[in-house]
Structure 1
Amino acid sequence: MSSLPPVTWLQAFEAAARTLSFTRAGEELAVSQSAISQRIRLLEDRLGQALFIRHPRSLSLTEAGQAWLPSIQEAFERLAQGTAEVFGPEPDAPVLIRATPAVQQYWLAPRLCALHRAHPELALRVVTGVWTQDFVGEDVDIEIRYGQGEWPEMVRESLGEERMTPLCTPAMAERLTTPAELAGTTLLHAAGFAVGWPAWLAAAGVEEIERDTHRLWCDTQVMTLRLAAHGCGVALAHRRLMGSAETLVAPFDIECHTAEGFWLTRPARRSLREPARRVWEWLADQTGEQWP
């Protein structure tokens, strides 16, 4: 076969094979049942094989049709994905923003509320990413990523320098007058961060007490903060989360700097749609502000 069949023939086959109905395929593609039937017949003639078994009142796929259908569906899916990656979603689709749970709760939420009050006509959708592999694929307009900004495929803008500090309930803070008194307490660890409790304890000059602490690991920083709020232990969190963690306080003034941070990013290979551009500019204008 020197060339692929026309796309309209392939669309007719995919729709008819999925629905097992020329009529429903025609309704889906906004053409008549006879047009679908003709396209299928032309496609079968081109391929030299039947794709459907035509029963008196129904359709079924031949073995060749069953074997070919997954490849056609995958091809259409990849075409749609590639189109979205280069040209973005449909112009009137909601602006899709992806961020970690902590960023959503402590940085993004108040800013999106302010944006919505100022521009209620902008349709927004927020989705969650936790791990590195979550921040790939999908038709995302804007992402807030955590790391060192080493994403050459992304346009990026830093949300500011990050520092880590312990947070706990006021009652627990009253009992912690020096870092050495963390011995015997539970340290709440959030997975996925380059800088954690060992680095902070070293900065405080008490790295040797880590073996005398209890440890509880969580997938997200939000969970460590919730546990800390319930008095379960001491969380190590980004300093700028402290303002929103209303039930938590910092028992010490010691902070640990980290080269990682939060970044406002978007795919470099395509231009932002107008609604997404407005959201980007709104968020970028506030990157220098302290988190609430």
Structure 2
Amino acid sequence: MTGLPPLLWLQAFEAAARTLSFTAAGHELGVTQAAISQRIRLLEDRLGQKLFVRHPRSLSLTPTGQAWLPCLQDAFTRLAEGTDEVFGGTPDAPVTLRTTPVMQQGWLASRLPAFQRAHPEIALRLVSAIWPDDFGPEGADLEIRYGRGDWPGMEAVSLGPESMLPVCAPSLAEAIRAPADLARQTLLHAVGFAVGWPTWLERAGLAGLESRCAALTCDSQVMTLALAARGGGVALTHRRLAEARDDLVAPLDLAMPTEEGFWLVRPGRREARPEARQLWDWLVARVSDEAG
């Protein structure tokens, strides 16, 4: 093999490997599924190795594809960072902070006004992300992510230990005196967390109870908390988010620690803009002050 494969082929592989879907990769890159498939096939011919295993209704990466993907993603990230460093944005571009909607509402909303009063000259822009794949260094100066803090190439500061506990509307809490009382309630599930209702109920000595309860599953905590506040069921959420609301109560004081948590994150290799550094330093100091 001589030379680097065409960029369009590399983009097609990165998008398809990340989404494990030629169709989704096509939507992302603005081309058809057939175009993605053709570019991948040409790339595999050029490299002399298969990158994907084609199943009847799904895709998976070959060991070669798995090994190559992080290298390619790192190269794209370095290219984006280098372009930004050389050409940059406008000097007065807002500082962009990306996080989940529930963290925007439950944690940032009570803190950012103080920063804005202290630094009225710094413009801020908040961007929402729900799924892990929504996050990344492109387009954001800072992020608040949920996980274990082990993102390659990123500097991460923990917002503190986390625990999960049930919350509901005050009117509903009167009927919940013990964990077994949850059997008569609708359990509101938010996908994407290591600690969910099955794990919490097992810790409470009621393994399998969720299978006997009415259930409603949402793709974000924003909706489960909104439903819970309106008496639509019992949500499982983070203690820090529950404490930030006055329309929810914890009927049971049984919080389960989780190894996952919220982290303030920024790219580790890129030199931050002065305005972004000021927001980072201010948030880190606020977290330290609140931790005591």
For 2:236, what is the secondary structure of its paired residue?
Answer: strand
Counting only pairs closer than 5 Å after superposition, residues 261-272 of structure 1 correspond to structure 2 as: 261-272=261-272
Contact 1:88 1:141 in 2 (8 A): no
- What's the RMSD between the two structures over aligned residues? 2.0
**CA separation in 1, counterparts of 2:179 and 2:106?**
26
**Is 1:204 equivalent to 2:181 in the alignment?**
no
Structure 1 residue 80: Cα displacement = 6.4
Radius of gyration: which is bigger? 1
**Partners of 2:86 and 2:148 in 1: how far apart?**
25
Is contact 1:89–1:139 with CA below 8 Å preserved after alignment? Answer: no
Cα contact 1:191–1:220 (8 A) shared by 2 = yes
Q: C-alpha distance in 1, partners of 2:289/2:131?
A: 26
Mapped to 2, the partners of 1:236 and 1:117 lie a distance apart of 34
Name the amino acid aligned to 1:240: R
Q: Distance in 2 between matches of 1:129 and 1:284?
A: 21
Could you tell me whether the CA contact under 8 Å between 2:95 and 2:123 is conserved in 1?
A: yes
| TM-superposed deviation, 1:82 | 4.3
Percent of aligned pairs with the same amino acid: 56
User: Where do residues 1-292 of structure 1 align in structure 2 (5 Å cutoff)?
Assistant: 82-84=82-84, 89-288=89-288
The alpha carbon displacement at 1:211 in A equals 1.7
Distance 1:169 1:290 in 2: 27
AA of the residue aligned to 1:281: D
**Residues 289 and 88 (structure 1 numbering): CA distance in 2 closer, same or farther, change over 3 Å?**
farther
Q: Tell me the distance in 2 between the aligned counterparts of 1:247 and 1:184.
A: 21
Taking structure 1 as reference, are residues 90 and 202 closer, same or farther at Cα in structure 2, changes over 3 Å only?
same
| Residue equivalent to 1:3 | none
Residues 224-278 of structure 1: CA distance to partner in whole angstroms, max 9, x if unpaired?
Answer: 0000011010000001112222111001110111100000000011111111100
- The alpha-carbon distance between structure 1 residues 267 and 121, as it changes in their structure 2 partners (threshold 3 A), is same
CA shift, 1:84, in A, is 1.9
Q: Does the aligned pair in 2 maintain the 1:158–1:263 contact within 8 Å?
A: yes
Q: TM-score, normalised by structure 1?
A: 0.69
Distance in 1 of aligned mates of 2:256 and 2:228: 19
Asked if structure 1 preserves the Cα contact closer than 8 Å seen for 2:198 and 2:208, the reply is no
The one-letter code matched in structure 1 to 2:222 is V
Cα distance in 1 between the residues matched to 2:103 and 2:289? 14
Contact 1:88 1:139 in 2 (8 A): no
* CA drift at 1:289: 5.4
Tell me: CA distance 1:279–1:233, structure 2 relative to 1, closer, same or farther (3 Å).
same
1:114-159 alpha-carbon deviations (Å, 9 max, x no partner): 1011111111111011111110253211000000011021011000
The secondary structure found in structure 2 opposite 1:215 is strand
Aligned equivalents of 1:122, 1:186: Cα separation in 2:
44
The one-letter amino acid paired with 2:244 is S
The answer as to whether partners of 1:85 and 1:139 remain within 8 angstroms in 2 is no
Q: Matched residues in 1 for 2:145 and 2:263: separation?
A: 5
Distance 1:159 1:93, change over 3 A: same
Are residues 281 and 137 of structure 1, via their aligned partners in 2, closer, same or farther at CA, if it must alter by over 3 Å?
closer
Following superposition, the deviation at residue 169 of structure 1 comes to 1.0
Which structure 2 segments of 5+ residues have no match?
1-77
Shift of 1:208: 3.1
User: Match of 1:192, SS?
Assistant: coil
**Cα offsets for 1:175-222 (capped at 9, x unmatched):** 111100111311000111111011110111112322210111111101
Gaps of 5+ in 1: 1-77
Shift of 1:280: 0.3
CA 1:110–1:266 in structure 2 vs 1: closer, same or farther (change >3 Å)? same
